[in-house]
Copies of this chain bind each other. A is one copy, B any other.
């Protein structure tokens, strides 16, 4: 890859995540305005918008880009929507990153959004299942809880792990989420709460699963030159990587590793000139507790099969060896699917600019975001550095 410009995040904003009453257009605008204000710029400085959204149909507003631009008073500026299932936010960020790095645009707005809870559990589950390899998975009844349950069962068999081990991931992330005023689930839970919650797809129980959330998150992405000239706090994006996996789980060599994560991480680390050891904290894709365990291994934080041990020993808790999901993660912060990857960048921005309050990772210099689509069929990893 060729780079003309260093890429920075100059501002960030989010709505609360949860069941929201406002429309998809309203929450998209709210997060965008918050990011623009955080950056201390005028909307007219924005050259184009990258929006990540999967199910605009759920709230009857597809082609939301021009609606947002009109509301921001810049209807002449181009926009587009990117979908890569639950990984849409990180892919949208990546496209914006590439355009700034190439010198095409010096200032871009990246906004992720999803509004689904009003459709109810049945419709939300159905929509989400359309993101699997539907011919082989969704239409055979394998929605995401079932697919991740298969991964969890395989992991338990391969590495002699218990349901209690997975439960610890949920407890940790809820502990962090309590410290995040924008989190969907601001409630401490115990291992017993998880183990005693309703079985969704054995061995996964309700509290092993992230919630369906509405929400929007937004960041301003710009060149280093623009950031220096326009003011406030910024962080630098020093690595960006992407990768793919076979769409259906049945097509993979192993059920307990996600190839796209490894590919994306290798690219991002190489570009950033770092190794996994250099990462102070990471926002990883914990749609289900098993996912976080697999992620932290595939990202190179722990050896294969040792991710559970790390959780057991508290090494992934806030301000331990490596703080995993200080925001609360998808599990507690929530998972408005199109917004999630952008929301991870908001957390990194807040952490590295001293705006993370009680959940601050002390002395953090390098943060990583990891966000995938479906069961990891697509993935993007980004590495950020404080300046």
**Contact surface of A with B, Cβ cutoff 8 Å:** 1-2, 4, 23, 25, 48, 54-57, 60-63, 65-67, 69-70, 74-85, 91, 95, 98-99, 101-104, 127, 130-135, 138-139, 242-248, 251, 259-260, 263, 373-374, 377-378, 380
Contact = CB atoms under 8 A, between A and B. Distances in A.
Nearest to A104: B1
Contacts of A373: 63, 66
Contact of A139 (B60, B66, B259, B377): B60
Contact of A245 (B75, B102, B245): B75
23 contacts: A1-B104, A2-B4, A2-B103, A48-B242, A55-B62, A60-B139, A61-B134, A62-B127, A63-B85, A65-B84, A66-B245, A66-B246, A66-B374, A66-B378, A75-B247, A76-B244, A78-B243, A78-B378, A80-B82, A80-B84, A81-B83, A99-B102, A102-B104
Given A65-B244, A75-B245, 11 more contacts: A2-B4, A2-B104, A23-B135, A57-B127, A63-B374, A67-B247, A75-B246, A76-B260, A78-B242, A80-B378, A98-B104
Contacts of A57: 55, 57, 127, 130
A133 B29 CA distance: 14
Given A70-B246, A135-B25, A80 B95 contact: yes
A104 B103 CA distance: 12
Q: Which 10 A-B pairs have the closest CB atoms?
A: A102-B102, A66-B377, A2-B103, A63-B85, A78-B242, A66-B247, A63-B131, A75-B246, A81-B83, A62-B130
A65 B101 contact: no
Contacts of A79: 84, 244, 378
A12 to B, nearest CB: 22
Nearest to A92: B80
A96 to B, nearest CB: 10
A243 B76 contact: yes
A48 B240 CA distance: 15
Contacts of A56: 83, 130
Contacts of A76: 243-245, 259-260, 263
B85 A82 contact: no
Contact of A378 (B65, B132, B134, B377): B65
B70 A131 contact: no
A150 to B, nearest CB: 17
Contacts of A138: 60
Contacts of A62: 54-55, 83, 85, 127, 130-131
A222 to B, nearest CB: 15
B244 A66 contact: yes
Contacts of A99: 98, 102
Nearest to A126: B60
A70 B1 contact: no
Nearest to A76: B244
A291 to B, nearest CB: 16
A60 B134 contact: yes
B80 A83 contact: yes
B243 A378 contact: no
Contacts of A75: 244-247, 251, 259, 377
Contacts of A263: 76
A131 B57 CA distance: 9
A84 to B, nearest CB: 5
Given A102-B104, A127-B57, A63 B48 contact: no
Nearest to A54: B62
Nearest to A135: B25
Contacts of A98: 98-99, 102, 104
